[in-house]
Structure 1
């Protein structure tokens, strides 16, 4: 069944601009829609429809930054018929509206990302610590010292705002704090630090990874530790949709509060809370 899921993922990723139904995918791999959908979500972390939408939004991100096409034309180019639906779902997945996403390179030029911690909503809530390692292939692709983002997400896919997140500095160790009770995945992504804003917002080839097991933050068990390995993503993997650089920018991320990361252990200063 694993091979059928991979083939289904390849089929969806390669045809994200076309009108595709679950039955089309199921017929392609020779399984019933019901069984394929269950196996797909179990193995890849999200159902086929959301997987297809993720690749459509990633393609939309590229079009928004590389062309002057109107948002409505980008909407139609990636398989959506309603610009309202496209805009709402794009914003929820990327964390920026299509119009604002298009303006991010200019905003990031004025306020480039810097190491930060974006705390969760539960003051004195749970914490998740750990470290990130990159495979030789990932390091070779990124070149030099990469920008490594780590975040907690309610599902095994990086979309929307993280529950808590951080952009690492020179260390490979991370701290995620003020985490509300719940079950989350530790996801990480590395971007070429020396590349321009456009290449960081939509990298040509992604480097990403996830902890093997989710974390379950409770009052009785508030602290957790996870190790994450990052590798070069396959072309059919679900893309990292959330716009990461704005989350570590003093102004490009909008009104979201950020906490400067202090490796020395000094007391954190939180703006806007």
Structure 2
């Protein structure tokens, strides 16, 4: 699986099929797809798409290439298709993402919890931990419909450091809780390590209490899907942007 992911990273601008990936892994196509999903949590096609969009985010922040040039470099033949997928996954258009240096605010410009929807929603609470020798910085936690952090989380919170967290007014459904952090003390000249943690699916029913959950941050591995939403992720290392200094919880439209 690692060999396949590295081949994806080295050939993002080229057409890559499931057959190509299976040959690289030296598995049958069926066995490869099943094993890849087991290791990464998502399909090979979705992982490749996430890598392409992650590279597009990097190029938007670090180069003067046009959006059209970047779309071709990451494997899209149509700038319209690229822009549509970028907006759907990241939350803003490629141009807006570049304009704001990667630190746009789809997560903090919306209605507060409890202003929409019906019924008594639930609370997800717990603790974030990390190893004694790691130094995560601000931690972004969100509830997502699946195993990849993209688009708009149904609820999120930003923590200044590891510790207790509460996500209130969580609508009924099955959600994946994903936490990400960049190493403390990073700047534009020193890339900090990315820490991740994921848990789910968490089944939430209206008004029913949930047990407290524990999230353990660990260094991101090659098998972990990139985070695509336009907030605290690897691409922010380039700009040295910082997350807010206070814990902030937000409800988003459409939840």
* In the alignment, structure 1 residue 76 sits paired with structure 2 residue 77: no
Asked if 2 retains the 8 angstrom alpha-carbon contact of 1:152 and 1:186, the reply is yes
Partner of 1:253: none
Structure 1 residue 179: deviation in Å? 1.3
CA distance in 1, matches of 2:83, 2:166: 33
- Give me the whole-angstrom Cα distance separating, in 2, the residues matched to 1:69 and 1:22: 29
Per-residue Cα deviation, 1:115-171 (whole angstroms, up to 9, x for no partner): xx97486564121101111234541xx5xxx11111111111111111100001356
Given the alignment, which residue of 196, 203, 218 partners 1:208? 196
| Deviation for aligned residue 1:224 | 3.9
Change (3 A) 1:21 1:136: farther
Residue 161 in structure 1 maps to residue 158 in structure 2 = no
Q: In terms of mean alpha carbon deviation, does 30-39 or 73-82 score higher?
A: 30-39
Match of 1:172 in 2: 163
Distance 1:82 1:224, change over 3 A: farther
Superposed, 1:87-106 pairs within 5 Å as 87-105=83-101
SS at match of 2:72: helix
Deviations 1:215-246 (A, max 9, x none): 10013634342211111112453111112259
Q: Return the match for 1:229 from 203, 216, 226.
A: 216
Cα offset, 1:74, TM superposition: 0.6
Farther off after superposition, 214-223 or 147-156: 214-223
2:195·2:220 contact (CA, 8 Å) conserved in 1?
Answer: yes
Secondary structure of the residue aligned to 2:212 is strand
RMSD: 3.4
Report what 1:185 is aligned to: 176
Higher helix proportion (structure 1 or 2) = 1
Any idea what SS the aligned residue of 1:105 has? coil
Give the length in aligned residue pairs. 236
Alpha carbons 2:60, 2:98 under 8 Å: kept:
yes
Give, in whole Å, the separation in 2 of the partners of 1:26 and 1:208: 27
- Between the aligned partners of 2:39 and 2:184, the Cα distance in structure 1 is 31
| 8 A contact 2:113–2:251 mirrored in 1 | no
1:128 corresponds in structure 2 to 124
Task: Give the counterpart of 2:225 among 221, 238, 252.
Answer: 238
Equivalent residues of 1:119, 1:176 under 8 A apart: no
User: What corresponds to 1:30 in structure 2?
Assistant: 26
Shift of 1:193: 5.7
Contact 1:128 / 1:175 at 8 angstroms: preserved in 2?
Answer: yes
Q: Is the 8 A contact 2:128 2:162 kept in 1?
A: no
**Stretches of structure 1 lacking an aligned partner (at least 5 in a row):** 247-259, 263-267
